[in-house]
Amino acid sequence: MKKKDIVLYAVTAAFLIFALVSVIIGFEPGKSLLKNFWEYIKFILTIMPAVFLLIGLFNVWVKKETVIKHMGHNSGIKGYLLAIILAFAVVGGLFAALPISKQLYDKGSRLGVVMTYLGASCVCRVPMTLFEASLLGWEFTAIRFLVSLPLIILSSIFIEKVMGKNPGIPVSVSDLPKGK
């Protein structure tokens, strides 16, 4: 057994023992912790089926050639704009955005576009945008987008320059193996 696994099991056991002892002796912070933990687990279990369905559909319906053509190394600014539009539709926050970004990357999307997708999925999801606009106004939301999105794109381009291209990913559709 690896040291990392032993640490994980020890932390899990310590949490369960703490929660059990807290319930038995009536320690309110421990009971509150356990209640919050169960609320979070219920939230995760309600979101994850939809997230898995979304990821599975994305994997099956979106072809590698399409991703390379529209979000690959030769896509230009169009790839970044498509990443932002895709990020608007994210359901489930980063629970869905991280696996989808991995699939985008594996299917040939350039690293900068993937980073833009991740950043935009944190900043401009539809439910969050509507909530923000209803509380703070559309002007605030528009200004935040006009400031945030160019900064996300610039930082994504910078990350791509620093990290480099993925050597295992085709640069264009013509680089794909024939017959697939």
- The domain locations on the chain are 3-49, 62-175
Distances (CA, A) of 78 to 74, 97, 110, 143: 9, 19, 12, 22
Both tokens of 93, joined, read 């926050």
Closest alpha carbon to 67 in 155, 166, 170: 170
Q: Which residues of 36-64 are buried (b: 16+ CB within 10 A; e: fewer)?
A: eeeeeeeeeeeeeeebeebbeebeeebeb
37: its two tokens: 């933990």
* pLDDT tens readout for residues 134-147: 999 999 999 999 99
> The tokens of 65 are what?
């050639």
Distances (CA, A) of 162 to 44, 83, 110: 35, 20, 13
174: DSSP letter: G
| Contact yes or no for 71/110 (Cβ under 8 A) | yes
Residues (pLDDT < 50) of the chain are 180
